[in-house]
Amino acid sequence: MRASRPAGRRVNAAPPADRAAPRVTPSEARLPKLDNLTLSRKEGWKQFVEASPRIRPEQLSPVQLRALGEGARADYDKARRIWHANLGPIKTPQLAALHEDLWDIIDSNLQDGDKAKGAVAIDAFPGLGKTTSVLAFARQYHRREFAAEGDYTTHGHERWPVCRVGLTGNTGMKDFNRALLEFFGHPGRFKGTTTQFGDRVLDCVLSCEVRLLIVDDLHFLKWRHTNGVEVSNHFKHIANEFPVTLILIGVGLAQRGLFSEGNSYADAVLAQTGRRTTRLGMEPFRIDTDEGRDAWRQLLLAVEQRVVLANKAPGMLAGELSDYLFARSTGHIGSLMTLINRGCQRAVRTGTEHLTAELLDTVKCDAASEAARRELEAALTSGRLTTKTTKINSRRKNKPSANMSGSGKRTGGAMRTAPRTVT
């Protein structure tokens, strides 16, 4: 067990009159890791669903930061490291629109058992927030079902409204069923035939009243090999037999033939799944319209609000760095969040406590965005492109829009250019 530090050095000690103490983050230790392994078991999923929101470390001024003792400073910086590495999920227009569509589809999927349920495929490029958005949705859905129906089913089984599996390199049907059994911690997950595994899965799904089955990284499936056809048939079987809505997530699912009719047997089998599947996409941020530029600005304002650096000033990201950040991330939220996270770690480590283009230039980002960066930079520098809106409401110049809590405003389809609210 960790020895406790003298109270005077702890971050959560009562603050001396001359300085504010950074806010306590005792819940950090209990927050679940959001990795695939944790989420592949029901206990990990429950932890994720029930975790209370992270507590933002207190914003200290440079003077207050300097006044911290060594121990308190170490605790404060650690809290900031964790905080900056987990800044989301932000309610981007893409996330909000996807959630709206998912609620529509799932809540309309209440047909009786003999009718096949529609499936959803979220098909978009990497790093656009597919997994993040779906997990945030599934978390809300789980909580809603628990609140409405209780922890146990009428037959006394544990209720698990959501089951999530991630595919890996070479998933066949038996592996897929095993992964589902693994989620439930079923004792029969080690031995059995594919059919037996399938029967056990059905049993779990029915007993635990699963309503949402999420299959992430579907592109790992070798579609046109025997495994792919097998699993695709299996999805059809699930849609027919199981009272669940399937949410399939992957990259390039359309190109892999999930929605096409095709000529071969394999194509036809895939098409059968495709016919029952609603395709939703996620788009990167765009700056070719005022609406798009405003959404970008709102995102930066929301990120800026979350960043905890002593020298941060209003407009640090949304004003001075708007073009720069767009060029570096090419409008992909995954690249942007990586850059901000790494930039903040460096700003804390080096003591600059502020994000600038010079500092971010020293931070490496993912290879794909680095490759696209030069071209965009040239366009932005020459004025052919800009991230600045022509009409910015002066009242919300340096603040994210008022609707921060995102109280369920209808935002339209996930593929459409999204409206402005980012929370």
- Interacting residues toward Mg ion by CB under 5 A: 131
49/215 with CB nearer Mg ion: 215
Nearest approach in angstroms of CB 334 to ligand ATP is: 3
* Cα 20 from Cα 11, distance rounded (Å): 10
The number of residues that bind ligand ATP (CB under 6 A) is 17
Backbone dihedral region of 192: left (phi > 0), alpha (psi from -120 to 50 degrees) or beta?
Answer: left
Nearest approach in angstroms of CB 355 to ligand ATP is: 17
| Partner interacting with residue 92 (select from Mg ion, ligand ATP, none; CB below 5-8 Å by kind) | ligand ATP
Q: What is the DSSP string of 44-74?
A: HHHHHHHPPPPPPPP---HHHHHHS-HHHHH
- Per the structure block, which two tokens stand in for 284? 């990167």
Chain length of the chain: 423
Q: Is 130 in the site for ligand ATP (CB under 6 A)?
A: yes
Q: Among the candidate windows 84-92, 171-179, 263-271, 356-364, which touches ligand ATP by CB under 6 A?
A: 84-92
Amino acid at 309: L
Q: Is 69 in the site for ligand ATP (CB under 6 A)?
A: no
* Cα 179 from Cα 247, distance rounded (Å): 16
Residues 6+ apart with CB under 8 A from 285: 292, 295, 296, 299, 326, 331, 332, 333
What are the start-end ranges of the H helices in 220-321?
226-241, 265-275, 290-306
Q: Is 318 in the site for ligand ATP (CB under 6 A)?
A: no
* Cα 181 from Cα 142, distance rounded (Å): 19
Q: Which of 127, 172, 343, 419 binds ligand ATP (CB under 6 A)?
A: 127
- Per the structure block, which two tokens stand in for 8? 């005077």
Q: Please check whether residue 250 is in contact with residue 232, taking contact to mean a CB–CB distance below 8 angstroms.
A: no
Site string for ligand ATP, 336-375 (x = CB under 6 A): -x--------------------------------------
- Residue number with the smallest Cβ distance to Mg ion: 131
| Partner interacting with residue 232 (select from Mg ion, ligand ATP, none; CB below 5-8 Å by kind) | none
Site string for ligand ATP, 91-110 (x = CB under 6 A): -x--x---------------
Q: Please check whether residue 405 is in contact with residue 398, taking contact to mean a CB–CB distance below 8 angstroms.
A: no
Q: At what angle are helices 322-329 and 367-381 packed, to 10 degrees?
A: 140
Q: Is 333 in the site for ligand ATP (CB under 6 A)?
A: yes
Nearest approach in angstroms of CB 33 to Mg ion is: 16
Compute the Cα dihedral for 401, 406, 407, 413 and give only its sign. positive
89/192 with CB nearer ligand ATP: 89
Rg of the chain, C-alpha, whole Å: 24
* Cα 110 from Cα 107, distance rounded (Å): 7
Q: Among the candidate windows 6-14, 81-89, 106-114, 237-245, which touches ligand ATP by CB under 6 A?
A: 81-89
| Partner interacting with residue 90 (select from ligand ATP, Mg ion, none; CB below 5-8 Å by kind) | ligand ATP
Q: Is 334 in the site for ligand ATP (CB under 6 A)?
A: yes
Nearest approach in angstroms of CB 162 to Mg ion is: 16
Q: Which of 55, 33, 56 is nearest to 312 (CA)?
A: 56
What are the start-end ranges of the H helices in 3-41?
36-39
Q: Which of 11, 246, 251, 327 binds ligand ATP (CB under 6 A)?
A: 251
Nearest approach in angstroms of CB 325 to ligand ATP is: 14
Nearest approach in angstroms of CB 281 to ligand ATP is: 11
* Cα 165 from Cα 40, distance rounded (Å): 6
Q: Among the candidate windows 126-134, 253-261, 319-327, 397-405, which touches ligand ATP by CB under 6 A?
A: 126-134
Chain residues that interact with ligand ATP, rule: CB under 6 A: 87-90, 92, 95, 126-132, 251, 333-334, 337
